[in-house]
Amino acid sequence: MSQEGYKNADLDNISLFDCGVTCMNSCSCFAYSFTSDDITGCEMWNQDTEFVMSASGRQVYFIDEFITRNGSSIPRKSEANKRKSWIGSVMGGALLILVSSFVFYLLWRKRRIAEERLKQKKILFEIEGITNPSSLLDNRRSKFSKIETTNHGMRVFSFESIELATDNFSSANKLGEGGFGPVYKGKLIDGLEIAIKRLSRSSTQGLAEFKNEVKLIAKFNHTNLVKLYGFCIEKEERMLIYEYMPNKSLDSYLFDPTNTLLDWKRRFSIVQGIAQGLVYLHTYSRLTVIHRDLKPSNILLDYELNPKISDFGLARISELNEPKKKTNKVVGTYGYMSPEYALNGIVSTRMDVFSFGVLMLEIISGKRNSSNFDSDHPINLIGYAWQMWNKGEALELIDPVFKGSCVDNEVLRCINVSLSCVQDQADDRPTMSNVVSFLSSESILLAEPKQPTFFTNTAEKNPKSPIVGGRNDSLNTVTISTMCGR
């Protein structure tokens, strides 16, 4: 050893074991050894002593480690303890972080749930005027239950019930998709078939349109208006739950030349049904409702091909006998907008009358209003119908699909009514109540329609002049023109 430890004469004859006990009882002693060949005596090293292994190989015992004669060593217990302590600290820190994260998540989730429930309560109050919406949200029979509200018989569906009905919104149940989001077919646990309109977060149809549609349809009760069963507002979802319409929308039959299902009798019945639905909206419902986006894709057909007007996201309420109003936000679809609305934003029930006139011409002809009918002087359907009417060749307008099944006088009367509906001035157009009377009674004499704005002589003089209404662009992209059955 480069430096000896300290020796005590009183310890010359003690055993190695007693030497070790003495060392361990000393706060400063960290190693000990024997001094005699018979392994007796005691030599100890304290913390101020430098220890170096000597060549003699005499065994020295450490309190936390011992070294053998050949120089090999077993790790000190103190280092192992330090390693264990470090591992314990790391695990303890990790556990603390995990527990803290879990607690933070629970608090965050609780806050999110509280915020979402507050939003739900606000929406329920705004939609239904429910003064105690908590009762609807708290008193569910099960997570798959649907709850009857106290107002208008509307149901508030749980997200889980809709998820189950649509098989987790599977692609097989997807009926179509538009600017508002996808539409799914579903079947509730009681067997009721439904159509789910799921508002996407990127939709241009916002929460205001969602609430508007719910509030309006909840008050409707008419065979020619689509029935809204309820809605879902859980988990930040905005879904409308409708009755399922298996025969798709009208445009899927109307503009398919290979589809012969719609003969004239069925088409005339569809025209009358749509007219009856509009009369209800304009005159007999609790509120005067202007649809503002009437077109074939918004007319759904039930099992018996009865028409039902749908998609009221853009509808507007007005008071009875209310004067015409103006709006700075023109929404709808070009080609179906009345001129006073498209150009000046004037809103009245007569704008729906105009849209109905365009729709009726499309039902008669099987052609879209945006189609071109003259290669030399491109004109839209309204212009072409007016041209044929003036020439006395209005029957040339009819769709060849039902040409052999129609009654000529009935078709001519419908063309006359449709041209009256698309007249330039709103006051010149009939009301929907008048239209229903015109269609149901041949004894009523019809006035000669005036030339519509959407067909002008300037188009004949200058083929390059744009024809107003020749477009079919959607201003709001809320509705879709191609759909599967829903």
Catalytic sites, residue numbers: 293
Nearest-CA neighbor of 292 among 195, 216, 221, 206? Answer: 216
Identify whether the C-beta of residue 384 lies closer than 8 Å to the C-beta of residue 452. no
C-alpha–C-alpha distance, residues 124 and 231, integer Å: 10
What region does 424 belong to: left with phi over 0, alpha with psi -120 to 50, or beta?
A: alpha
Q: What's the chain's Rg over C-alpha atoms?
A: 43
C-alpha–C-alpha distance, residues 429 and 335, integer Å: 17
What phi, psi does 59 have (nearest 5°)?
A: -75, 130
Q: How far is CA 149 from CA 192, 206, 294, 353, in A?
A: 18, 23, 30, 34
Q: How far is CA 7 from CA 50, 60, 61, 294, in A?
A: 15, 14, 15, 111
SS3 content of the chain, % helix, strand, coil (to 5): 40, 15, 45
Q: How far is CA 399 from CA 29, 355, 374, 396, 410, in A?
A: 112, 20, 17, 8, 14
